[in-house]
Structure 1
């Protein structure tokens, strides 16, 4: 890590940040970061208020089981569950009524749908895996994105779905079976220990392990769950994982780096270090149907590079999604 990047982790906390942290129940350093991310107290408060209000539950219709999603709508309505299309997500639905039932239906058991946030759904659409392609999904459990990728590929081609945790891989395998996925092999392994797969994949998804602070609308405990030191350690691992992920991409192929975090430390700074490590990659414009704020190019008086504005950020107060970061990287 370059010396000037270290100041990003040496954050001072203002009185305004302390006051907001006390009011909303956060660790103060987190609020200071949000003030720097959004550039104003006004938008920071908008974000914090949106977290307090939470998000509706949402589901993804699985066309590997329900070839016509209107059939799913009708079946759920008969059970007292009312859903409404998420306009920008072809298979996404808000749960308008009956949220408490959504994980306890026969349709859920038989794989008609997956309970998934809209930001998480957006990831697979942005990856845009072609049919009959060869794709890797790294750190993939519990399988929301693996099963979505398989759906978009209509069970053609091949997916390698990797997770190092045997317990999480068990849930991954269960969801692959439940969602009727047939084109996926699960590998229980540390990504950093993968061998003989360099250049093997047309598209690679790295939904990197992260602080998960983008999930604040669902998980209030994230307000106080990580110190700045832990975020620094997460960043260091993310850089190592991103470097490994690029190696798995064939020439001309695509890596999608994503996290359910809005922290610059876990996102743009990771991409900055990746760009400095390799000359054979470039950032591609990353948006989905007009959605997404540009990536952050300057933070804590550190210039991260103008190309990072091509990355994509999602926020609850602007896009009604959980917080997410997505960035397409092409290997030349």
Structure 2
């Protein structure tokens, strides 16, 4: 059986070579490992990926061979090892270096053991100063992303975003399911499961941050539907929708059902919620989550463009949480740094426009459309406000009434940017329109 460091290098190689998603690889590779090893693999694989641009700079400063000229295995072995040397203080440097040298030999690169040893010893001994004026290296975020934030939000906000998404860990955020429990009862339940719950930063009565969690799916409180995992920034979306009893609400891109079940919860199962997606396995996820959480007001069904006539003019409210580049999720999905670019955004923006145009036709006169993304990108956000407005929908300035006070300064007309540095969350964008 491969040891934990072999697994980490394999994961980094697959992300680099095949563009496989880091989170999917972690789920696949962690089977069979003890809890402590799972934590180590997750920490180092995610950390090395998150800090890759900075780590590559450090390696280039001390190595006679530049990172892009190295053999892929050696390159990713060094990335894994440098992350441990520079960002983890619980493992002695000599142990990190020895393990790297052993793995180099084991994988058939015995002639490169001296090189690996020398690079890592130089990294350990030297205090590499990062360039303060290069935010990409400083915060390990792709240059084109930094540039786009600087142009859209200005350099001060851009650096705040970069610092938050780079320096801080993503929290495990649990939405209390008030259809089945109360905050007090859930806290007591979690404490009995040896989990330390802390109040959320935005909605302290609705969300808890969970510390000491290793396997959420195995928790009895989760299985019984007392909570679900959802970042607080995503929770703002459902509040902006403001579901009311008796309304017909469509969640067009609903999988895996986080926002649909939140809408059901906020309306106490009194709204009529249709949750759709274009993939059957995703609809199964929505049904599974709705059942677990007791969200009986949800009807999950496969969306087929051939049947769209049945939706035209039917809904009081439509939510489109559209596919996006996900730049607001860099804290928890660092591989986005390397599998997104301007070309990808142009492609996905065409999909966003198509979804928005179709969704607008589903509203009743006077109905409202909520458009949301988990990205921080002008093309997918502010320019989409212009596009949707051109469809004949009017930006709804009542959005500000449903936005938490800490974000009101970022409201402009009928839209708001949820900057991640405000409350240590993911980044989000929400816009509201009236027909």
In the TM superposition, what are the counterparts of 1:5-154 in structure 2 within 5 Å? 19-40=134-155, 42-52=156-166, 53-66=168-181, 68-86=182-200, 88-89=202-203, 90-95=205-210, 97-154=211-268
**1:84 Cα deviation after fit:** 2.1
Q: TM-score, normalised by structure 1?
A: 0.84
Which residue pairs with 1:314 in the alignment?
A: 418
In 1, Cα distance between equivalents of 2:235 and 2:366: 25
Q: Which has the higher helix share?
A: 2
Alignment correspondent of 1:327:
431
Contact 1:17 1:28 (8 Å CA) reproduced: no
Is residue 282 from structure 1 mapped to residue 395 from structure 2 by the alignment?
yes
Task: Confirm whether residue 211 of structure 1 aligns to residue 348 of structure 2.
Answer: no
Aligned counterparts of 1:213 and 1:180: Cα–Cα separation in 2: 32
CA distance in 2, matches of 1:291, 1:198: 37
The change in CA–CA distance for 1:44 and 1:282 in structure 2 (over 3 A counts) is closer
Q: Give the distance between the partners of 2:172 and 2:163, measured in 1 at CA.
A: 18
CA apart distance, 1:91 = 1.4
Normalised TM-score (structure 2): 0.65
Alpha-carbon distance change, 192 to 244 in structure 1, aligned in 2, over 3 angstroms: farther
> Is 1:225 aligned to 2:339, yes or no?
yes
Which of the two has greater strand per residue?
A: 1
Aligned length: 301
Which runs of no fewer than 5 residues in structure 1 stay unpaired? 1-15, 297-307
Determine helix, strand or coil for the equivalent of 2:296. Answer: coil
Residues 193 and 213 of structure 1: CA distance in aligned 2, closer, same or farther (over 3 Å): farther
Residues 182 and 34 of structure 1, relative CA distance in 2, 3 Å threshold: same
Report which structure shows greater RCO (CA 8 Å, sep ≥6).
1
Structure 2 residue aligned with 1:5: none
Alpha carbons 2:201, 2:423 under 8 Å: kept: no
The aligned counterpart of 1:301 is none
User: Residues 155 and 181 of structure 1 are in contact (CA less than 8 Å); yes or no, is this contact kept in structure 2?
Assistant: yes
Give CA deviations for 1:228-286 in whole Å, capped at 9, x if unaligned: 011011112111111111111111111111010111111111110121232x5333242
Rg larger in 1 or in 2? 2
What are structure 2's unaligned runs of at least 5 residues?
A: 1-130
Distance 1:43 1:156, change over 3 A: closer
